[in-house]
Amino acid sequence: MGGQSGKWMILVATIWIQAFTGTNFDFSSYSSDLKSVLGISQVQLNYLSMASDMGKALGWCSGVSLLYLPMWVVIFIAASMGFFGYGLQWLVIRKFISLPYFLVVILCLLGGCSICWFNTVCHVLCIKNFPTSLPLALSLSVSFNGVSAALYTLIANAINPNDDTLYLLLNALVPLFASTLTLIPILLRRLPLQPINSADSAIHHDSLIFLILYILAAFTGVYLLFLNSISSILHRAHLLLLGAIILLLLPLCLPVIAYAREWSSPSVHYTSRLKNSSFIDPEADELHKELIGKDTAAAAATCPTTYEVPVIEKEGCFGKVIMEKDRLTSLGEEHRAGLLIHRLDFWLYFVSYFCGGTLGLVYSNNLGQISESLGYTSHTSSLVMLYSLCSFFGRLLSAAPDFLHDKVYFARTGWLAVALLPVPMALFSLAASGSEVALHAGTALIGLSSGFVFSAAVSITSELFGPNSAGINHNILITNIPIGSLFYGLVAAIVYDSNEGSSGLDQSLLKEATVCIGRKCYWQTFMWWGCFSLLGLGSSFLLFIRTRPAYDRSERNNRCVPPPSSSDNQILLCTS
């Protein structure tokens, strides 16, 4: 399968992979059962959660593997790690086998690695097939990772609504089945055949299809958000699961329509010579290069080639030094790892992510104990689903800067700062009130914020520190996830364990494991987390102020576009 139909089929395949491999979102659904069976403390349970997130620190392994191994082999390795990592945990939680604690930690690490490997495969597929629409393709694909918890809840309710241990079994089997199914279009995919037509027309056509896919994705999220709450009855769960599968199959209509158009339209011609990873007519390619050269020369003559960044004297107040030290002058400059860690912008970005997206992920990992301590144990699955779906909508919203670019321009780092605003609001509200309404509202706000950060981070890393180095640089950035999982989780676990002795429960029922009941279990944790989120918000604002001139300069250069006339002496105009 090649041409336009092939690339859209690949995008549908990445959507399916992401939708069924976000297994880290349902940890809270079975964490209490796992804690009880293993007889461990909250601190030890936090180490299991951290081990799952540690897979992010090993993400570079998947990238290296793709350099030397076929795509299908890397997908099979990812599925195998998840199968053994989650499958053996399911045997432990069902008491079929008994394993020491350190082996369970390794199994959690395996499960976390499988998620990272799947994500890398999806990123590479989007990069290869959508070079001109990469932010939109990545955002759409990554967004569906947020519906995993809702889909798993539907499947679990369709089998047995009262068995929380099913999540581990589903985590082992569903990604294996989904990845095997998606191997078909990946293996059949040939190199893209590019039609000899207007690039602007092709980009406009792609944008229209992306808009349709985003509308369909939003409808899927709304469907899962509002109907999942009534899926606890077995026959309803069956019907709702069937509806969700149909919604996931609907995007297949687009590659089918594109494939039909390729065969039915006589006006679209393809050549058979490989050039620059695509089949392009050599003569047309040379003409295109000549025109590009002329347009570039005209642009140099009519458009400003420099956009001076205002410089503030470094002598003086400390604030001026912070705002001007090693300031980026343009977007897309390549930064090697050695240079990256010496840039102040990177560390502001690192702190923003650490105190925003990572904090939201740790919150989701603790949802099981949070809902249990507040007396809403029966709501754990619905809270996990709510966080997952709001994360999904947050990831979809990360595409807003690209859709609104022509009408409303705002630096992507500015969108990042706006996205971090709900986190301190939600955490301080949770600290002030332990009501059910506050819990659901706070979970939704944190899910929206963290989802936006997770999806937008890939594009921000590419823009600030270079697209060619984005793979390595982004893996350096997300090392903050296991660090944050350990740090934030340890803070929560220490506070939890220090209060559980006063809960007045019969602890013999849980062997060595204990349960803390009451607002005191997480009140201090929410306060501490809220303070750290304010630090992240401040860092994101400083990053926006420092990088805004570089974004403005890039936008000024990008608005140098050819006029619509077909005059022989065509020049480029700079639009304001």
Express each pLDDT in 130-161 by its tens digit: 877 777 888 888 888 888 888 888 888 888 88
348 & 424 share domain: yes
Q: What CATH number is attached to the domain comprising 345?
A: 1.20.1250.20
Q: Of residues 402 and 232, which shows the higher confidence score?
A: 402
- Do 233 and 375 lie in one domain? The reply is no
Number of domains in the chain: 2
List, for residues 443-455, the tens digit of each pLDDT value.
999 999 999 998 8
Q: Alpha-carbon distance 3 to 264, whole Å?
A: 13
Place of tokens 């058979």: 272
Q: Is the whole-model pTM more than 0.95? A: no
Residues 244 and 391 in one domain: no
Answer whether residue 272 is part of any domain: no
Q: Looking at beta carbons, which pairs linking 269-278 to residues 24 or more positions away fall under 8 Å? A: 269/195, 269/196, 270/3, 270/193, 270/194, 270/195, 271/196, 274/191, 277/128, 277/191, 277/192, 278/191, 278/192, 278/193, 278/194
Identify the pLDDT of residue 287. 36
Say whether both 7 and 120 belong to one domain. yes
553 vs 249 pLDDT, higher one = 249
- Is the CB of residue 213 less than 8 Å from the CB of residue 8? no
In which domain, by residue range, is 258 found? 1-189+210-262
Residue with structure tokens 């081990």? 51
- Residue 18 domain-assigned (yes or no): yes
φ/ψ of residue 279, rounded to 5: -90, 110
Last residue of one domain, picked from the residues 245, 262, 279: 262
Residue 508 placed within a domain: no
Confidence of residue 193 (pLDDT cuts 50, 70, 90): very low
Q: What band does 197 get if pLDDT is binned at 50, 70 and 90?
A: very low
The pLDDT tens digits for 352-411 are 999 998 999 899 888 888 888 888 877 787 888 888 888 889 988 888 877 776 677 778
Position 320 in a domain: no
- Which one of 129-143, 295-309, 505-519, 528-542 scores highest in mean pLDDT? 528-542
Of the ranges 7-21, 104-118, 168-182, 189-203, which one carries the lowest mean pLDDT score?
189-203
Same-domain status, 258 and 380: no
Long-range contacts of residues 440-446, Cβ cutoff 8 Å, at least 24 apart: 440/383, 440/386, 443/363, 443/367, 443/383, 443/386, 443/387, 443/390, 444/386, 444/387, 444/390, 445/390, 446/359, 446/360, 446/363, 446/364, 446/387, 446/390, 446/422
- The structure tokens 């630090």 sit at 535
Q: pLDDT tens digits, residue range 83-112? A: 999 999 999 999 899 999 999 999 999 988
Task: Give the pLDDT band of residue 270 (cuts 50, 70, 90).
Answer: very low
**How much is the pLDDT for 449?**
94
Q: Is the pLDDT of residue 289 over 60?
A: no
Instruction: Looking at the structure, tell me whether residues 359 and 253 fall in a common domain.
Output: no
How far apart, in whole angstroms, are the C-alpha atoms of residue 457 and residue 123? 13
The answer as to whether 283 is a domain residue is no
In angstroms, rounded to a whole number, what is the distance separating the alpha carbons of residues 343 and 465? 10
CA 232 – CA 379 distance, rounded (Å) = 12
143 domain residue, yes or no: yes
What mean pLDDT do residues 264-273 have? 46
What pLDDT, on the 0 to 100 scale, is given for residue 286? 42
How does residue 559 score in pLDDT terms, banded at 50, 70 and 90? low
Q: Identify the pLDDT of residue 79.
A: 92
75 and 223 fall within a common domain? yes
The predicted model gives 543-561 an average pLDDT of 78
Same domain, 45 and 143: yes
Secondary structure of the chain: what % helix, strand, coil (to 5)? Answer: 75, 0, 25
Are residues 235 and 122 part of one domain? yes
Give the tokens for residue 547: 């990088």
Largest CA distance in the chain: 88
Q: Does residue 192 contact residue 127 with C-beta atoms inside 8 Å?
A: no
- In this structure, are 445 and 552 located in the same domain? yes
Q: Using the 3D structure, point to which of 237, 262, 287 is the last residue of a domain.
A: 262
Sorting pLDDT into bands at 50, 70 and 90, what band is 474? confident
Q: What is the pLDDT of residue 203?
A: 56
Q: What are the CA-CA distances from residue 140 to residues 8, 15, 247 (Å)? A: 12, 8, 15
Residue 261, SS3?
Answer: helix
Same domain, 342 and 435: yes
- pLDDT surpasses 80 at 413: yes
In a domain, 122, yes or no: yes
494 part of a folded domain: yes
* One domain, residues 370 and 239: no
